[in-house]
Amino acid sequence: MRTFVKKNWLLFLILLGSLAVVLFLITRGGAQPPSPSPSPTSRPFALLHAFPPGGKQELGDPGLALSFSFSAPIELASVVITLNPYINFDLFIDPSGETLYVRPLPKWDYNVEYKINISLKSKDGRGLSSPIEQVFTFTQMRNSPLSE
């Protein structure tokens, strides 16, 4: 055995050092505790896009729905809408749950100023910072095959 150690003393020293490092890591508890990862910041629940944008709009189809797109899925049961002058309307959302549609029953009247107020909550219970208020008037399209 002495001859083996004399011939391979460097290999023996490396093995002994590796064993010492492994034992040190095991007795120390392994790796350091993981550092906390930053938590994702959620963006506020807000209106991203609305159709119509407000004001006077030419409209070829007076049965077209208004659309309101939000930053998170909405809870349809939480939607409260006031429409002045009042007309019957239907509410529905897209498959993602992020766009609310307000469809007139049967249609919007041309040259009438409508005012819509919407309040609602997201599926996770967040509310808007303030209700949506929009004023719009639809006019009949000029030079359109639909207006003939």
Kindly indicate whether the domain formed by 47-141 is annotated with CATH number 2.60.40.1220. Answer: yes
Q: Quick one: average pLDDT of 47-75?
A: 91
Answer whether residue 1 shows pLDDT above 80. Answer: no
- Helix, strand, coil proportions of the chain in percent (round to 5)? 20, 35, 45
pLDDT of residue 16: 58
pLDDT of residue 32: 58
Q: Quick one: average pLDDT of 63-85?
A: 95
Q: How confident is the model at residue 14 (pLDDT cuts 50, 70, 90)?
A: confident
100's enclosing H/E stretch is strand 99-104
Q: Which residue has the higher pLDDT, 142 or 146?
A: 142
User: In which residue are the tokens 């006031």 written?
Assistant: 82
